[in-house]
Amino acid sequence: MIDLRLKVDPLPIEIPLVVRLLDEPIDRRTEHDAIILDIDGDRREYEYHGFSLTVHARPDEKLDGDVLLVLPGQASAHRLIRANSNHNTLLVTEQCDQLCVMCSQPPKKYHLDLFDHFAVAASLAPQDAMIGISGGEPLLHKERLFQMLSTVTGSRPDLRFHILTNAQHFEPQDTERLVELGWDRILWGVPLYSADPETHDKIVGKPGAFANLERGLATLMRAGASVELRTVVLQQNWDDLVGIAKFIATRLPFISVWAIMQLERIGYGRMNWTSSFKDTSADFEQAARAIDIVTARGLEAWLYNFPLCSVPDEYRRYAPSTISDWKRKYLEFCESCGARETCGGFFQWYDQKEGFTGLGPI
């Protein structure tokens, strides 16, 4: 697994520090850049404003262009941007107002506002990068989030963002700001777990969530925003998948894409695995019907986090490799598989003993 934290020698800092690591000076050097001075085994020394910054990493680890966040008193740095990866996500808060049965990042009460630092980090990302923003629920800090997005989209018009939100906190008065941010700059990833309000509310652990979600989606629609609806398949909503497809086709045809997703076995997803995981390698029928319904209406549908061999042959074209590089793995039988190059494999925390029953090399 790729490490998203790097050991650093402690720095005498009192406020968080955002620093970009460079192997050599570049033309448009910024005040946040540190240039390498020396490499000795897993120890790399950088020059930063006349001071020494020491980072520890495997000798074969490429760090050129990576952006780190160093917090006071901590001996490890958060690797916010990996220059060689398309899977960079800023976790802007761990607070959330929902309690989803499959949450991979269970919420915490405490919030540390690092939005200004995230803005700096994003502004140092490689050209044309797509940056993920997630939580918790980022829109719990809507003003700060919008400020950050305005700052970055102003200085770096080449960047795009993919923001995960439960869409509980959009108000009609946000429409203008959403328009200003640009429909082509931000893709909002919004979960919808059932077309039945009661089932959706139960899955997200919040009464009234479905009604708020409908209002939030209406605001996004008025703003012409790009929306990726996301439905994690669960035992709890499996029989409603066709209902969700019909709901999308008739009520939400403005969305950009519908992502049908497999469960991640971590956080509450691990705790509730036995009662929630749906083995779609044994029974794919509802998913197939759901895909057929939305695609027949000209909408785009995808299967996220599905190992290719868990999907019937005729639906594999809907299953791109989506698991982030740093948390992806393959199993022993994948070694002899001809589809390995295009298959997204499994989450690091997937356990075959409790997982899909119908897998095997293609």
| The one segment of 16-24, 192-200, 269-277, 336-344 that binds ligand SF4 by CB under 6 A | 336-344
Please say whether the dihedral angle defined by the alpha carbons of residues 109, 114, 119 and 122, taken in this order, is positive or negative. negative
3-class DSSP assignment, residue 76: strand
The pairing of strands 67-70 and 17-22 is antiparallel
* Touching ligand SF4, residues 268-327 (CB under 6 A): 307-309
145-158 in b/e form (b: 16+ CB < 10 A) is: bbebbebbbeebee
Q: Which is nearer to ligand SF4, 227 or 233 (CB)?
A: 233
Nearer to ligand SF4, 252 or 309 (CB): 309
359 is a contact residue toward ligand SF4 (CB under 6 A): yes
With binding defined as CB under 6 A, does residue 337 bind ligand SF4?
yes
244 binds ligand SF4 (CB under 6 A): no
How many residues line the site for ligand SF4 (CB under 6 A)? 14
Map 15-68 to HEC letters: CCEEEEEECCCCCCCCCCEEEEEEEECCEEEEEECCEEEEEECCCCCCCCCCEE
Residue 257 is a binding residue for ligand SF4 (CB under 6 A): no
131 binds ligand SF4 (CB under 6 A): no
Among the residue ranges 69-77, 129-137, 177-185, 354-362, the one whose residues contact ligand SF4 (CB under 6 A) = 354-362
- Span from 162-170, 236-244, 279-287, 334-342 in contact with ligand SF4 (CB under 6 A): 334-342
Which of 334, 347, 350, 355 binds ligand SF4 (CB under 6 A)? It is 334
- Reference 226, options 317, 171, 163, 297; nearest CA is 163
Q: What is the CA radius of gyration of the chain?
A: 21
* Comparison of 8 and 309: residue with beta carbon closer to ligand SF4: 309
Element (H, E) at 220: helix 209-222
User: Other CB atoms closer than 10 Å to residue 120's CB: what's the count?
Assistant: 24
The 27-66 contact track toward ligand SF4, x by CB under 6 A, reads: ----------------------------------------
φ, ψ at 224 (rounded to 5°): 70, 25
How far apart, in whole angstroms, are the C-alpha atoms of residue 119 and residue 124?
Answer: 9
Q: Which of 157, 172, 207, 361 binds ligand SF4 (CB under 6 A)?
A: 361
3-state secondary structure of 221: helix
Question: Any contact of residue 333 with ligand SF4 (CB under 6 A)?
Answer: yes
Shorter beta-carbon distance to ligand SF4: residue 81 or 359: 359
The two tokens of residue 223 are 């703003």
C-beta of 81 vs 311, nearer to ligand SF4: 311
| Residues lying near ligand SF4 in the complex (CB under 6 A) | 307-309, 330, 333-334, 337, 339-340, 343, 345, 359, 361-362
